Amino acid sequence: MRKSVTVGQKRPAPGWNAAPGRRTVVVVSAFAQGSAPLVERSTPDVFVRRLLRVPDVRPSARADAAAQRLFSAAILLSATRCLLGYVVFPIAAPALGAAAGWTPVIGIPLGILALVFDVRGIRRFFVADHKWRWPVTALYSAVMVLVLILLATDIARIT
């Protein structure tokens, strides 16, 4: 159940500002076992939750642990992709006499997989309603930019 309250204005559609400069707070009631307190969310929080299709339910204790496990796996995968793209392929592969043409063949699928895990990691932090979801989103975004740059260079090498 959603209920929008806008300061000094008529009620807009849930989660959206009625006028620039006015802040909409969306109050979300959790549907879970027991009595759940109401949670107030900022407009950016509501926007990202909608973008990632995060349900409005109270997270369990397991969701927090799952978010941290997925964060570790996604960052490890992105770090592996960056390590391969910046160290192994340009330096070690030519030194060992390996063909340079294999870089995009390995890099493109690994980069796409890393991006998928990064988005899933962001979503998991928002599902868990983790207190560090915004700093982690910033970190994931920076990693995703690096992976996208590597992906673009790999695609440019193929064509």
pTM above 0.85, yes or no: no
Q: How far apart are CA 50 and CA 118, in angstroms?
A: 17
**26 beta partners:** 4, 41
Order of strands, sheet of 2-6, starting from the edge strand that comes earlier in the sequence: 2-6, 24-28, 39-41
Query: What's the pLDDT tens digit per position in 24-80?
Result: 555 444 444 444 556 788 899 999 999 999 887 776 767 777 777 877 887 888 788
Under 8 Å CB-to-CB from 118, ≥6 apart: which residues?
A: 74, 78, 140, 143, 144, 147
